Amino acid sequence: MLNVERVREDFPQLKAGIIYFDNAASSLTPKTVIDKMLEYYVEYRSNIERGVYSLSQRASEEYEDARRTLAKFIGAKNPDEIVFVKNTTEGINIVAHGLTFNRGDKIVTTLLEHHSNLLPWMRCKQRYGVRVEMVKPSGEGLLDPAEFEKAVDDKTKLVAVTHVSNVLGTVTPVREIAQIAHEHGALLLVDGAQAAPHLEVDVRRLDCDFYALSGHKMCGPTGSGVLYIKEEVSEALEPLYVGGGTVEYVDLEGFRLLRGPERFEAGTPAIGEVIGLKAAAQYLISLGRRNIEAHERELSRMVYEGLSSLKGVEVYGPSPEFKLGVTSFNLAGLNPHDLASILDLKAGIAVRSGMHCAQPLVRQVLGKPEGTVRLSLYVYNTAEEVEIFLSTMRELVREIA
């Protein structure tokens, strides 16, 4: 079980007394991550994979150790399957640019997606004439594998789904979808931005071909992220950039790219950030991902039950057993942005408001053209914070009535 009071001591940002419920946008950073990045900048700041001198050797070793740690973090078979990117969006775009699409091919995605797992596929439609089919979730935001059975056919080249919804917290049945995709010879990309920070992810069990995550949502630095590329499909992907660090041999006739993850990491990478991301992954492993999930589920239930009992509050999405720690809601008579501002002014509560970069979901599935307020939890949030939030909401409901 998690000792939350102990965990809170690791996060210097909490000393300001804020109630931070915008974790789906970005998490806070523990001291161990800040210290690790500082260590790089103070002790062995240099470029990697280039120098034979000890400073560069140390930086290179730390960087490659980050690859091993992140492979362990998501259950990859081989560290070479880990490509460092700046965020989930970049990871997904590398796949969208790197696969070969022909007119008539099909991409299947869903109406649950963040724009980062939607726009790259819509652009493939404009550029290559592929068909993009969107699987619709239920009104509560749950995806049914039977809908994928109908949508995926032998022309389908790629299925792209989120692992966890950033608006509703619902968890996608990835394994079932992987089976359907592979039966038709399609590849599966999973957007893990909202899952990797909160769940024990095992890409081998999920059987996906690509998995993208962002470091800044999982206690790591901004500018760090991972694109997992299954070893067997790596050759099918053309790197987005070529240049320094990606090549094995060059002469005036041409060049031969490296075979490993370096072929996707052109130029000097975000070395300090990747080293910080390693510390973040180690930190989450040390807390125990099952403990993190259990803690968030418990608080999520409190949020859901508390909000559902309030007059005039509409809570979107399914009941707590079908989701993680993200809850979207509205209070009748208040615009979501006004409600978010009031929560901040009254009690220093940070929540997100608006469309959450998921306009088709919020507008078409939830039917909320003004958006919603979104409360998203993490490992350092407490039952007391949820209580303060709920009592602030109760007060507001009384004032509005």
Interface ranges with ligand PLP (CB under 6 A): 24-25, 87-89, 114, 116-117, 162, 166, 191, 193-194, 214
The structure tokens 């789906």 sit at 24
H-run or E-run covering 382:
none
Q: Which is nearer to ligand PLP, 271 or 326 (CB)?
A: 326
Minimum Å distance from CB 17 to ligand PLP? 25
For 309, other C-beta atoms within 10 Å of its C-beta total: 11
Minimum Å distance from CB 217 to ligand PLP? 6
| Beta-carbon-side half-sphere exposure of residue 365 (alpha carbons within 13 Å) | 26
Minimum Å distance from CB 90 to ligand PLP? 7
Minimum Å distance from CB 85 to ligand PLP? 9
Minimum Å distance from CB 295 to ligand PLP? 20
Q: Under a CB-based contact definition with an 8 Å cutoff, are residues 75 and 201 in contact?
A: yes
Minimum Å distance from CB 129 to ligand PLP? 26
The per-residue b/e assignment along 114-151, b for 16 or more CB within 10 angstroms, e otherwise, is bbbbbbbbeebeeebebebbbbbbeeebbbeeebbeeb
Cα–Cα distances in Å, from 255 out to 27, 80, 240? Answer: 41, 21, 16
Q: Which amino acid is present at 358?
A: A
Q: Which of 124, 208, 219, 357 is catalytic?
A: 357
Q: Under a CB-based contact definition with an 8 Å cutoff, are residues 157 and 186 in contact?
A: yes
Do you know the residue count of the chain? 401
Can you read off the two tokens belonging to residue 178?
Answer: 């992987």
Cα–Cα distances in Å, from 375 out to 130, 164, 168? Answer: 36, 15, 10
Q: Which is nearer to ligand PLP, 117 or 328 (CB)?
A: 117
Q: Which is nearer to ligand PLP, 24 or 177 (CB)?
A: 24
Can you read off the two tokens belonging to residue 187?
Answer: 């590849």
Q: State how far the Cα of 17 lies from the Cα of 22, in Å rounded to an integer.
A: 15
Apex 136 CA angle, 131 and 138, nearest 5? 175
Known catalytic residue at 357: yes
What proportions of the chain, in percent to the nearest 5, are helix, strand and coil?
45, 20, 35
Q: Which is nearer to ligand PLP, 117 or 246 (CB)?
A: 117
Beta strand ranges found along 37-184 (DSSP E): 82-85, 106-110, 131-135, 156-162
Minimum Å distance from CB 139 to ligand PLP? 20
Catalytic residues: 357
